[in-house]
Amino acid sequence: MAETIPVGHAPEHAHEHHEPGFVAKYLWSTDHKMIAMQYLFTGSAMALLGGFFAYVFRSQLAFPGMSVPGFGLVSPNEYNALITNHGAIMIFWFAMPVLIAAFGNFLIPLMIGADDMAFPKINRLSYQIFLLSVLVLFVSFFVEGGAFGGAWTMYPPLSATAEYNQTPLGTTLFVTAVALEFVAFLMGGINFVVTAMNSRAPGMRMYDIPIVVWMIVLASIIFMASVGPLVAGAVMLLFDHNLGTAFFDPKRGGDPVLWQHLFWFFGHPEVYVVLLPAVGIVAEIITVFARKKLFAYKTVLYTAFGTGVLSFTVWAHHQFIAGIDPRMANVFTITTLLISVPVAEMMFVYIATLYGGSITLETPMLWALSFIATFLIGGVTGIFLGASGTDIYLHDTYFVLAHFHYTFVPIAVIGTFAGVTFWFPKMFGRMLDDRLGKIHFWGTVIPFNLIFIPLFVLGVAGEHRRIWDFTQFPELSAPWMRDLDKLATLSLWVMLSFQIVFLVNFFWSLRRGPKAPKNPWASNTLEWTADSPPPHGNWKELPTVYRGPYEYSVPGREQDYWPQNVPN
Amino acid sequence: MIERLLPAASTSATEIDFLFSLIFWLVGFWFVLSEAIFFGLILRFRKREGRKAQYVTGELQSEKRWITVPHLLVLVCDVFIVFFAVRAWHQVKQDLPTAPTQQVVRVEGAQWAWIFTHPGPDGKLDSADDIRKVNELHVEVDRLYHFQLTSRDVLHSFSVPVFRLKQDAIPGRVITGWFQPTKTGEHDVQCAEICGIGHGLMPARIHIETSEQHAAWIAANSTVSVAAVAGR
């Protein structure tokens, strides 16, 4: 059994039924579900901040010279700081904490039939260090010189020399925040892998583990294997910036391209670190709402392994035009296009799962299906950038930006909404409103496409990202281009305003939603056999597993589902 | 496809535009097919009263064929794309062609401007008649140019969209590349790598001129440049 919560009472009363105090319950808990909620709420709050930043700089772009409501005029250095922190927040402080840490913490013990994580105190420490990284990042916005504005990729010499970036404290705090965040996720990752491998319920074999658990475990392993070079790089960058070393300073024998290798050796696998949990979530949802067994479970698993291995061989496609030996581009073109094979196969498997199903379109299913539909666009546009020849032109244009938003928005935003709407009854013991959920869905997905399809076109027409004001470029100020920019920005406003519908639905349902039964979706996996919400320790008696997680519509059975813990 | 949105004004532009169209149609085909099947399945297998979902494991070879065959076809497409991508890359980035009338220009990125050094009437760089211009590059149509690219401070990236050309500039290194303009005109040059507070404020222009226009420009500017150099 996991340890009990240190409730802060006298020892002789500790065994009695005391309600833990606020601090013990919400801040100092080692319960995996509470830590999941801490990550979920912190990550979501950061997403709102990142979204606000996007609103500010896109409004500046579409309406140059005008004051942005809620912010004011955007200066070039503020613009740089906004795009930098938007990117960093969305990846490091939203996608990772929500997809891996929140869902990993909530789902892994519940889905494998454990009472808690293998190391609950390390788990708590992981969140506390993450929170510290958030605070350090916040402080960086308010220091003298302003926040760091050298892009989330932090390329030196700009990031390594205060003379060049002119934001000395902001830069130091930004790099420190990123490094702290990685330490937090290393701790979390160790917990996920050890828990999933060692704490499974009796009877649960490797191939009985739900796909989403596998995916989070694989993502954690990829993260742990890729993050070392970047933490080392972050330390080197801090030394260059503050102590006068010259790891990345070419004037004194350093090499700025070294940073790019260290960064992208982490940075590209990072895409798969957040992708895998999202495709895991999607797998769980489509099987439940299509009442189907997951098509070729083992194939999904092997392709995820394959993607993980290949993800370490593709980093230099970010550096085709960075001054690396041109012959290297050929090798990295091959590895990059090769990674399209397992990812395409995964998508084919999901499409095949729908065949012969009995599909209902509740809100979580809409999100899961829209993941497939939009991620396909992200996938196919990646081919243009993996092919070295076209990357020469498209690199750092709005085409790249649109491409990775077509991968990251399905992963982080759609994946999160799919997961939250699906597991909300289990997390909070109440049902979300399905009608409001659908309004929010359409209000998000339609404008999302209207933001980024125009940006593909603008990218192909030669518009580069990270430029403060395009009206200085005669070709880029063509009226049709400025109109597309306005369309993208207005769509962003619409998309952001529809998030209010979600927030209303979320907080209203949290208090007033109808009580959720144990298993509202008639699902097979173990978390649905616990109470809604599950108490500390999850079950009075740990479940026993008799079969795989996706036995839906098995012939000869009256019910169309067959929970993992029900004996024959 | 690109040239509908932006003119193509160099020999490499043709090669890259071809590759872009090839990938567009190839992946476009797969994309449309996958989405059509995807939406088709959602419509066809919507829940109906009295109909139960089928039990398909996907573990049988006969079922797996439905994903392994498209999977192999994707692989074939990849090989095809790799071939043309590498070919384009060789022509644009890896091979450095030479021509009898070749010229060399120097491109320097700095916070926050582009500094272009043109050879003067003697046709050679690093001589007294060099013409140095800020944010203004003058070249002659149809002539082959080698550029020497470097940076004075941080990373910059020299991007000429009408040439489909882009190359990062790295302090401490001189990177040699080439271009051959095919059309006269005046176009934007952007910095494609974030380079500090003024990154969004360094627009430059490239002037592609006929040989007569170019000769006249050199004649008009070289003496000025000599005087400027002598005066420093």
* pLDDT, tens digit, 9 for 90 and up, residues B32-67: 999 999 999 999 999 998 889 999 999 888 998 998
Residue B227, min C-alpha distance to chain A (Å): 31
* Separation of alpha carbons B78 and B76, rounded Å: 5
**More confident: A320 or A5:** A320
A316/A333 Cα distance (integer angstroms): 9
pLDDT digits (tens, 9 = 90+) for A8-26: 344 444 444 567 787 777 7
Query: In this structure, what are the phi and psi dihedrals at residue A30, rounded to the nearest 5 degrees?
Result: -105, 5
Looking at residue A23, its pLDDT comes to 79
pLDDT digits (tens, 9 = 90+) for A251-304: 899 999 999 999 999 999 999 999 999 999 999 999 999 999 999 999 999 999
Beta bridge mates, B138: B207
A553 to B55: CB separation less than 8 angstroms, yes or no: yes
Distance from the Cα of A280 to chain B's closest Cα (Å) equals: 17
In this structure, the strands spanning B113-118 and B103-110 are antiparallel
At residue B146, the pLDDT reads 97
Residue A82 · residue A487 · CB < 8 Å = no
- How far CA B99 is from CA of A70, B143, B174, B179, in Å, comes to 58, 8, 21, 12
Residue B134, phi then psi, degrees to nearest 5: -100, 125
Name the average pLDDT for chain A. 93
pLDDT tens column, A259-272 = 999 999 999 999 99
C-alpha torsion sign, points A19, A23, A24, A29: positive
pLDDT score for A7: 38
Q: Quick one: which of A57, A166, A183 has its CA closest to A128? A: A183
Show residues of chain B in contact with A461, CB under 8 Å. Answer: 2, 5-6
- Distance (Å, whole) CA A514 – CA A433: 9
Q: Of the given ranges (A43-57, B115-129, B164-178), which has the lowest mean pLDDT?
A: B115-129
Per mean pLDDT, which of A22-26, A444-448, B99-103 is the most reliable?
A444-448
pLDDT tens for A383-411 read 999 999 999 999 999 999 999 999 999 99
- State yes or no: pLDDT of B232 exceeds 60: no
Distance from CA of A430 to the nearest CA of B (A): 25
Alpha-carbon gap, residue A535 to A33, rounded angstroms? 9
> Residues of B with CB below 8 A from A393's CB?
2, 16, 20, 161, 164-166
Q: Which tokens is B125 given?
A: 């760089």
Residue A87 has pLDDT above 50, yes or no: yes
pTM for the whole structure: 0.94
3-state per-residue secondary structure call for A477-498: CCHHHHHHHHHHHHHHHHHHHH
Polymer length of chain B: 232
Name which residue leads in pLDDT, A428 or A5: A428
Which residue of chain B comes nearest to A80, CA vs CA?
B197
CB within 8 Å: A387 and B23: yes
pLDDT at A400: 97
Contact B59/A473, CB-based, under 8 Å? no
Q: How far apart are CA A279 and CA A350, in angstroms?
A: 9
Q: How many CB atoms lie within 10 A of CB A474?
A: 13
Under DSSP, is residue A430 helix (H, G, I), strand (E, B) or coil? Answer: strand
Q: Percentage of chain B with pLDDT > 90?
A: 79
pLDDT digits (tens, 9 = 90+) for A200-240: 999 999 999 999 999 999 999 999 999 999 999 999 999 99
Helices (H), B106-198: none
Looking at residue A326, what is its pLDDT?
A: 87
pLDDT for A426 beyond 90: yes
Nearest to B51 among A334, A358, A373 (CB): A358
pLDDT tier, B231 (very low <50, low <70, confident <90, very high otherwise): very low
- Whether B226 shows a pLDDT value over 70: the answer reads no
Contact call for B194 and A466, based on CB within 8 A: yes
B94–A327 C-beta distance less than 8 A: yes
Task: Looking at the complex, report in whole angstroms how far the Cα of residue B70 sits from the nearest Cα belonging to chain A.
Answer: 8
Residue B131 has pLDDT above 80, yes or no: yes
pLDDT of residue A18: 63
| Pairing outcome for strands B103-110 and B131-134 | unpaired
Q: What's the Cα-to-Cα distance from A350 to each of A206, A445, A561, A562, B46, rounded to whole Å? A: 21, 20, 19, 21, 16
Closest-CA residue of chain A to B205:
A473
Q: Do B86 and A384 touch (CB under 8 A)?
A: no
pLDDT for res B224: 53
Nearest to B135 by CA among B209, B215, B195, B202: B202
ipTM of the complex: 0.94
pLDDT of residue A11: 43
Q: A384, B23: Cβ pair inside 8 Å?
A: yes
